[in-house]
C-alpha cells in the first residue's frame, strides 16, 4: 500500500470533478432542491391559515392586537364568537382561533397577558405562522400602548388534535438529511467507476503497479472529500434555512452523515463491478436503493412492518443510519446511548465489509 | 539464463470459449530490442500483449517478464503499456493525465520530456476531450512512457498519427532502444515493421514465423515485406 499512489487517484478524481460542472451541480444543488421541496411540501401551506379572532376585552388592548393581526401577512383573520370557535375548527373553516379575555387590558396593566390560543393541531404547517403572527401583533400593539413596560406574554395554547410536538419535517428531516447524501454519493460513485471501465483507463490502472486496495481507497478518499462537503452543506441548509428541529449535537449528526456517505461510496464501487454500462448502473437504483429506503423506517416505522420485512430491515445499513440520525436530532441522543452506539457500530461495520468486498471483487484480470 | 530476455513466453495458450486466441506461442525478446508483432485482425496480438502485463492469464504455458513470472504486480512499474484504444481521462488536461500515470508508477519527473516527445507540450493545458484523434493517440503514448519503463508495450501506437510525426516517433523509439529500453510494438504498417529489429508473424493465435525483416523477405522470396507478409499468411491460411 503506497500513500503516494492512493493520493494520486484521489487527486485525479477531484481534478476531474472540477471541470465536471454537471456532476458538481448534482452533488451540491440537488440536495438543496430536494430538501427545499420537501420543506415546502410539508410546511409551506399554500394559503395563509384562517384564524378566528374573538375579542372579549373590555379595555382597548384587545382591539389593537386584533387590528394588528388583521394586517399580518402570515394569517388571514375573521371575527368570531368564542363559543363558535371549536365548531369552526372541527369543520375545517378555521385553523386556529384566538380569544382575548374580558380582563385582557387589565392583565396588561398587571404585567402578564394570557390570550387563549386554540389550534386545530393536525396540520403541523399551520401552527408556526399563527403563533408567530400573534407574537408580532402583541409586540407592536403593546409597544404603541405602553412603551417601555416589561410585559410577559403567556399565551394559553390548546390543541384540538395532536399536541405541541414536532412537525412533520422535524420528524422526516432528520432521516432525509442522511438519505439525500447517501443517494447522491452512491449514484456519482457508481457511474464514475463505470466510466473508468468503459473508457479503458481501468485496464491501464490494472496494468500498473497499483494494488486493488489502493484503487478502492483512493476512490473512497476522493469521494469522501466531496461527500463531506455535501454533508456540511445539507446540514447547514437543514438547520439554518429549513430550521429542522434538532435537540442533539451537530457534530454527532455530521459524523453519522459522513459514515453514510462513506458507506455509499463503497456500495457504489462494489456494485459497479456488477454493471457493464452506466445504464445498467442506474438500474441498481430501483433494485438496491428504493427497497432500502422503504425498509429503513423513514416512512413506515420498522416495528409496524410485517415480521419477515422487519428481519430484512434489520440487516440493511440504512435502517441503522436513519434510526441514529433520528435518535440524535429528535430525541437528543448522545454517544452514551446504547441504541446510538449500536447504530453507529453497524454502519461502521458495514463500511468495513463493503471496502473488503469492493477490493476483492475488483478483478485484475479481464479474462 | 533468462536475465537477458526482457520477455520470455513459453508455449502459451489462451482460449476465450471456443476461440483459440493464442495457441502454443513461444517467443523471446532481448533487452534493448524493438520487436514487432504482425498479424491480421483477431490473430491474437493484443491478447499476447495483455498477457505480458498479467491482464490475461494463460490457460497453459508461462510468461516471464524482466525476470519475473507473471502475474507480478510490483514489477509493473518497470513496464509501460499503451492500449490499442487511447485510454485517457477526458475531463483532465493533457498534463494532468500524464502526471497521473507518472504518479501511479511512483515517479513525478519526466512529464515535460514525455510531452515534448509526442509534441504536445504546447497543448499541455488543453482538456483531453478537446484534442484531435491523433493527439489523443500521442497523449496515450506519452502516458505509457512517462515513467521511463524498461519494457514498453505499444499496441498499434501510431494509428491516426500523421506521417511526419510518425517518423519522428520511430526515431525516438530507436533512441530509447539504444539506451536499453525493450520495445514490443504491434502494427499493421509495413514501413514501421521495416524499422523493427525482429518481427513475429502471428496467425490464428500461432507464431507463424520470426526473424529480421530481411530474413522474412528472403524466406518468402518476395522483394517487399508487404508481399512477404501476404504470401506467408496465405500459405498457412
Ligand atoms: N475478452 C475477450 N473475450 C472473448 N474473446 C476475446 C477477448 N479478447 C480477445 N478475444 C478474441 O481473441 C481473438 C484475438 O483477439 P486480439 O484482440 O488479440 O486480436 P488482435 O490481433 O489484437 O487484432 P487487431 O489487429 O484487430 O487488434 C479474437 O478472436 C477475439 O475475438
Ligand atoms: Mg489488437
Tell me the pLDDT tens digit for each residue of A118-152. Answer: 887 656 567 778 888 888 888 887 776 655 566 77
Please choose, from the candidates A200, A294, A274, the residue with its C-alpha nearest in 3D space to the C-alpha of residue B89: A200
Residue-level pLDDT at B2: 44
Distance of alpha carbon A224 from the chain centroid: 20
A119 and A185 in a single domain? The answer is: no
Res. A8: pLDDT tops 80: yes
Bridge partners (DSSP) listed for residue A53: A79, A98
Q: Please answer yes or no on whether A367 and B57 come within 8 Å at the CB atom.
A: yes
Find out whether the beta carbon of B47 lies less than 6 Å from any atom of ligand 1.
Answer: yes
Residue of B nearest to A21 (CA): B91
Q: Note whether A98 and A69 are within 8 A (CB).
A: yes
A104 and A216 in a single domain? The answer is: no
Which has the higher per-residue pLDDT, A360 or A352? Answer: A352
Residue-level pLDDT at A36: 75
- For residues A53-71, average pLDDT: 88
Structural domain for A99, as ranges: 50-159
Res. A238: pLDDT tops 50: yes
Find out whether the beta carbon of B44 lies less than 6 Å from any atom of ligand 1.
Answer: yes
Q: Which of A125, A142, A159 is the last residue of a domain?
A: A159
Q: Please answer yes or no on whether A9 and B83 come within 8 Å at the CB atom.
A: no
Distance B43 CA to ligand 1 centre (A): 7
A54 and A142 in a single domain? The answer is: yes
Q: Which of A159, A194, A225 is the last residue of a domain?
A: A159
Distance B203 CA to ligand 2 centre (A): 13
Q: Across all residues in chain A, what is the average pLDDT?
A: 81
Classify burial at A177, counting beta carbons within 10 Å of its beta carbon; exposed 0-12, middle 13-18, buried 19 or more. Answer: buried
**CA angle (B71, B76, B82) in 5-degree steps:** 105
All residues of chain B having their beta carbon less than 8 Å from the beta carbon of residue A366 are 50, 55-56
* A5 near B CB under 8 A: yes
Q: Please answer yes or no on whether B103 and A8 come within 8 Å at the CB atom.
A: yes
* A363 near B CB under 8 A: no
Is A292 in a helix, a strand, or coil? Answer: helix
Is A98 in a helix, a strand, or coil? Answer: strand
Kindly state whether residue A33 falls inside one of the protein's structural domains. no
A266 and A137 in a single domain? The answer is: no
Max Cα–Cα distance, chain A, nearest Å: 91
Phi/psi for B142 (5° steps) reads -60, -40
Nine-digit cell string for A49: 391559515
Res. A99: pLDDT tops 50: yes
Helix extents (H) in A20-96: 21-28, 30-43, 61-70, 85-90
What CATH number should be reported for the domain holding residue A94? 3.40.1710.10
Residue-level pLDDT at B100: 95
Res. B237: pLDDT tops 60: no
Find out whether the beta carbon of B19 lies less than 6 Å from any atom of ligand 1.
Answer: yes
Kindly state whether residue A171 falls inside one of the protein's structural domains. yes
For residues B205-232, one letter each, b for 16 or more C-beta atoms within 10 angstroms of the residue's C-beta and e for the rest, the string is bbbbbbeebeebbeebebeebeebbeeb
pLDDT band at B212 (very low <50, low <70, confident <90, very high): very high
Distance B73 CA to ligand 1 centre (A): 23
Kindly state whether residue A267 falls inside one of the protein's structural domains. yes
All residues of chain B having their beta carbon less than 8 Å from the beta carbon of residue A206 are 53, 55
Q: Please answer yes or no on whether B92 and A364 come within 8 Å at the CB atom.
A: no
A350 and A307 in a single domain? The answer is: yes
Q: What is the ipTM of this complex?
A: 0.89
Q: Which residues contact A82 (CB under 8 A, 6 or more apart)?
A: A54, A56, A97, A99, A116
Q: Which of A109, A135, A159 is the last residue of a domain?
A: A159
- Interface residue ranges in chain B relative to chain A, Cβ cutoff 8 Å: 16, 50, 53-57, 71, 73-77, 79, 81, 83, 85-92, 96, 100-101, 103-106, 127, 143
Pairing outcome for strands B206-211 and B198-203: antiparallel
Classify burial at B82, counting beta carbons within 10 Å of its beta carbon; exposed 0-12, middle 13-18, buried 19 or more. Answer: buried
A189 and A135 in a single domain? The answer is: no
A182 and A312 in a single domain? The answer is: yes
A216 and A234 in a single domain? The answer is: yes
Residue of B nearest to A19 (CA): B91
- Cα dist. A135→A68, A132, A157, A306 in Å? 10, 5, 13, 46
- Rounded-to-integer distance, Cα B34 and Cα B30, Å: 9
Kindly state whether residue A132 falls inside one of the protein's structural domains. yes
Distance B196 CA to ligand 2 centre (A): 18
Most confidently predicted of A109-113, A214-218, A327-331: A214-218
Most confidently predicted of A16-20, A42-46, B76-80: B76-80
Distance of alpha carbon B111 from the chain centroid: 20
Residues B117-170: tens digit of each pLDDT: 999 999 999 999 999 988 999 999 999 999 999 999 999 998 888 888 888 889
- Rounded-to-integer distance, Cα A237 and Cα A80, Å: 40
**Overall number of domains in chain A:** 2
Q: Please answer yes or no on whether B106 and A209 come within 8 Å at the CB atom.
A: yes
A217 and A346 in a single domain? The answer is: yes
The ligand minimizing its distance to the Cα of B40 is 1
Residue-level pLDDT at A241: 84
- The partner residue sitting opposite A5, judged by closest CB among B53, B57, B103, is B103
Kindly state whether residue A14 falls inside one of the protein's structural domains. no
Which of A2, A11, A19, A208 to substitute to test the interface with B, most B CBs within 10 Å?
A208
Instruction: Average the pLDDT over each of A160-169, A335-344, B41-50 and give the range with the smallest value.
Output: A160-169
A271 and A247 in a single domain? The answer is: yes
Which of B56, B58, B79, B91 to substitute to test the interface with A, most A CBs within 10 Å?
B91
Nine-digit cell string for A126: 399551520
Distance B103 CA to ligand 2 centre (A): 27
Give A302-364 as a 3 state SS string: HHHCCHHHHHHHHHCHHHHHHHHHHHHHHHCCCCCCHHHHHHHHHHHHHHHHHHHHHHHHCCC
Give the atom of ligand 1 at the shortest distance from the alpha carbon of B37.
21
Q: Please answer yes or no on whether A8 and B81 come within 8 Å at the CB atom.
A: no
Angle between helices A3-19 and A212-236 (to 10 degrees): 50
Amino acid at each position: 500500500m503506497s500513500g503516494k499512489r492512493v493520493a494520486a487517484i484521489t487527486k485525479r478524481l477531484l481534478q476531474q470533478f472540477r471541470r465536471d460542472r454537471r456532476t458538481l451541480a448534482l452533488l451540491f444543488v440537488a440536495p438543496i432542491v430536494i430538501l427545499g421541496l420537501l420543506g415546502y411540501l410539508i410546511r409551506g401551506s399554500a394559503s395563509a391559515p384562517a384564524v378566528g379572532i374573538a375579542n372579549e376585552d373590555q379595555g382597548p388592548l384587545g382591539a389593537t392586537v386584533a387590528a394588528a393581526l388583521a394586517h399580518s401577512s402570515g394569517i388571514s383573520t375573521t371575527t368570531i364568537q368564542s363559543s363558535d370557535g371549536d365548531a369552526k375548527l372541527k369543520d375545517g373553516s378555521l385553523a386556529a382561533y384566538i380569544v382575548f379575555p374580558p380582563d385582557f387590558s387589565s392583565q396588561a396593566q398587571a404585567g402578564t397577558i394570557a390570550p387563549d390560543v386554540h389550534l386545530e393541531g393536525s396540520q403541523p404547517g399551520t401552527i408556526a405562522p399563527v403563533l408567530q403572527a400573534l407574537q408580532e401583533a402583541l409586540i407592536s400593539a403593546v409597544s404603541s400602548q405602553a412603551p417601555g413596560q416589561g410585559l410577559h406574554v403567556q399565551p394559553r395554547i390548546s390543541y384540538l388534535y395532536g399536541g405541541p410536538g414536532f412537525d412533520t419535517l422535524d420528524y422526516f428531516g432528520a432521516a432525509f438529511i442522511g438519505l439525500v447524501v447517501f443517494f447522491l454519493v452512491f449514484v456519482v460513485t457508481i457511474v464514475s467507476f463505470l466510466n473508468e471501465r468503459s473508457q479503458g483507463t481501468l485496464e491501464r490502472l490494472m496494468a500498473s503497479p497499483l494494488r486493488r486496495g489502493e484503487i478502492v481507497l483512493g476512490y473512497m478518499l476522493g469521494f469522501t472529500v466531496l461527500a463531506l462537503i455535501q454533508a456540511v452543506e445539507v446540514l447547514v441548509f437543514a438547520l439554518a434555512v429549513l430550521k429542522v428541529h434538532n435537540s442533539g449535537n451537530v457534530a454527532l449528526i455530521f459524523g453519522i452523515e459522513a459514515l453514510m456517505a462513506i458507506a455509499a461510496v463503497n456500495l457504489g464501487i462494489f456494485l459497479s463491478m456488477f454493471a457493464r454500462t452506466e445504464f445498467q448502473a442506474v438500474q441498481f437504483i430501483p433494485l438496491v436503493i428504493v427497497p432500502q429506503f422503504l425498509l429503513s423506517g423513514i416512512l413506515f416505522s420498522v416495528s409496524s412492518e410485517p415480521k419477515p420485512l422487519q428481519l430484512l430491515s434489520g440487516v440493511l445499513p440504512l435502517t441503522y443510519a436513519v434510526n441514529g440520525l433520528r435518535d440524535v436530532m429528535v430525541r437528543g441522543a448522545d454517544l452514551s446511548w446504547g441504541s446510538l452506539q449500536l447504530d453507529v457500530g453497524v454502519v461502521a461495520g458495514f463500511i468495513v465489509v463493503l471496502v473488503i468486498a469492493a477490493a476483492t471483487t475488483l478483478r485484475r484480470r479481464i479474462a | 539464463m533468462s536475465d537477458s530476455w526482457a520477455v520470455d513466453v513459453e508455449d502459451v495458450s489462451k482460449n476465450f470459449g471456443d476461440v483459440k486466441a493464442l495457441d502454443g506461442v513461444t517467443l523471446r525478446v532481448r533487452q534493448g530490442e524493438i520487436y514487432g508483432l504482425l498479424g491480421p485482425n483477431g490473430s491474437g496480438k493484443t491478447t499476447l500483449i495483455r498477457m505480458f502485463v498479467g491482464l490475461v492469464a494463460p490457460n497453459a504455458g508461462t510468461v516471464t517478464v524482466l525476470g519475473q513470472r507473471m502475474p507480478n504486480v510490483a514489477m509493473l512499474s518497470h513496464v509501460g503499456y499503451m492500449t490499442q484504444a487511447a485510454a485517457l481521462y477526458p475531463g483532465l488536461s493533457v498534463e494532468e493525465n500524464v502526471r497521473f500515470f507518472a504518479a501511479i508508477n511512483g515517479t513525478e519527473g519526466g512529464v515535460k520530456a514525455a510531452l515534448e516527445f509526442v509534441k504536445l507540450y504546447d497543448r499541455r493545458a488543453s482538456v483531453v476531450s478537446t484534442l484531435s484523434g491523433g493527439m489523443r493517440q500521442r497523449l496515450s503514448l506519452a502516458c505509457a512512457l512517462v515513467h521511463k519503463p524498461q519494457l514498453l508495450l505499444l499496441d498499434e501506437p501510431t494509428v491516426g498519427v500523421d506521417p511526419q510525426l510518425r517518423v519522428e516517433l520511430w526515431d525516438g523509439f530507436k533512441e530509447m532502444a539504444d539506451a536499453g529500453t525493450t520495445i514490443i510494438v504491434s502494427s499493421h504498417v509495413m514501413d514501421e515493421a521495416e524499422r523493427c529489429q525482429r518481427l513475429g508473424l502471428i496467425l490464428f493465435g500461432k507464431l507463424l514465423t520470426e526473424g529480421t525483416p530481411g530474413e522474412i523477405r528472403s524466406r518468402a522470396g518476395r522483394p517487399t515485406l508487404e508481399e512477404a507478409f501476404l504470401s506467408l499468411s496465405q500459405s498457412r491460411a
